[in-house]
């Protein structure tokens, strides 16, 4: 289900319609397994964090018989405000972190580390034009680290390096010891050093490695079907 690309009036109407339909048919919300948020620089994200139909829908989903499995957040490369004003505390932490298995972030220049580190069920992570902000990050030692099985990135090597190595204070972020699939889209040889750090942590668990050109977007589906264990395209590192 994709939200955020319409005008605010249309968006509000769509959310209200879904909320009312969910009240009429209490099982409708069970069939929502994926959310795709498209955030625009010129629009406020208050519809996500403030009381209203979206928060009501998310509360219903959190209490439903099925859990939300995937979240995609797509911004703009110049947007700096998406995660401010309660985005993590009022949306990510209560409705996303305990449940999702897949997280895809695209064009998010200031993604807070909390938005990733707290996702205890996370198995698939894709970063595309993403950098991470973690000055205010406070680790929760009572939560298990996300055990990532599939990882893909493009134009996000500094973020991946932070996630792989941990913070400068020594806090681990991800458990990469079970990583099975790694996709790196880059033309920069320096990015390969970051990939090597990931590969070292994955050890014998890594089954599939794909290195492709950075102009190629990472597929919304990370699974590499019917491909050999290691693929390096001829245009990968020109």
Residue 231 placed within a domain: no
Residue 147 placed within a domain: yes
The residue written with tokens 């996630």 in the block is 163
CA distance 79 to 86: 16
DSSP alpha helices (H): ranges in the chain? 8-24, 46-49, 53-62, 87, 114-117, 157-165, 189-202
Q: Which residues of the chain have pLDDT under 50?
A: 223-238
Residue 129 placed within a domain: yes
Residue 237 placed within a domain: no
Residue 28 placed within a domain: yes
pLDDT of residue 149: 96
Q: Report which of 138, 140, 84, 135 is spatially closest to residue 108, judged by C-alpha positions.
A: 84
Range of the domain at 75: 2-176
pLDDT of residue 219: 63
Tokens of 173: 């972020």
Cα angle 104, 107, 112; round to 5: 70
Number of structural domains in the chain: 1
Residue 223 placed within a domain: no
Q: What are phi and psi of 184, to 5 degrees?
A: -125, 115
Residue 14 placed within a domain: yes
pLDDT of residue 76: 78
Give the tens place of pLDDT for each residue, 22-53.
888 878 899 999 999 988 766 777 889 989 99
Give this prediction's pTM: 0.85
Q: Report which of 177, 182, 179, 176 is spatially closest to residue 224, judged by C-alpha positions.
A: 182
Residue 219 placed within a domain: no
């Amino acid at each position: 289900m994709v939200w955020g690309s319409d005008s605010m009036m249309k968006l509000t109407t769509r959310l209200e319609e879904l909320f009312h339909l969910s009240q009429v048919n209490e099982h409708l919300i069970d069939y929502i397994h994926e959310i795709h948020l498209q955030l625009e620089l010129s629009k406020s994200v208050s519809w996500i964090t403030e009381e209203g139909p979206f928060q009501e829908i998310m509360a219903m989903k959190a209490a439903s018989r099925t859990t939300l499995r995937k979240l995609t957040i797509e911004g703009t490369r110049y947007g700096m405000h998406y995660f401010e004003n309660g985005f993590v505390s009022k949306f990510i932490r209560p409705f996303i972190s305990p449940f999702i298995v897949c997280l895809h972030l695209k064009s998010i220049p200031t993604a807070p580390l909390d938005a990733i580190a707290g996702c205890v069920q996370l198995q698939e992570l894709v970063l595309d034009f993403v950098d991470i902000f973690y000055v205010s990050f406070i680790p929760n030692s009572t939560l298990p680290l996300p055990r990532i099985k599939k990882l893909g990135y493009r134009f996000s090597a500094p973020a991946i390096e932070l996630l792989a190595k941990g913070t400068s204070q020594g806090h681990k972020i991800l458990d990469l010891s079970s990583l099975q699939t790694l996709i790196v889209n880059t033309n920069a040889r320096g990015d390969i050093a970051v990939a090597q750090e990931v590969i070292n942590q994955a050890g014998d668990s890594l089954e599939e490695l794909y290195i492709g050109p950075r102009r190629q977007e990472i597929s919304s589906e990370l699974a590499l079907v019917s491909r050999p264990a290691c693929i390096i395209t001829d245009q990968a590192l020109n």
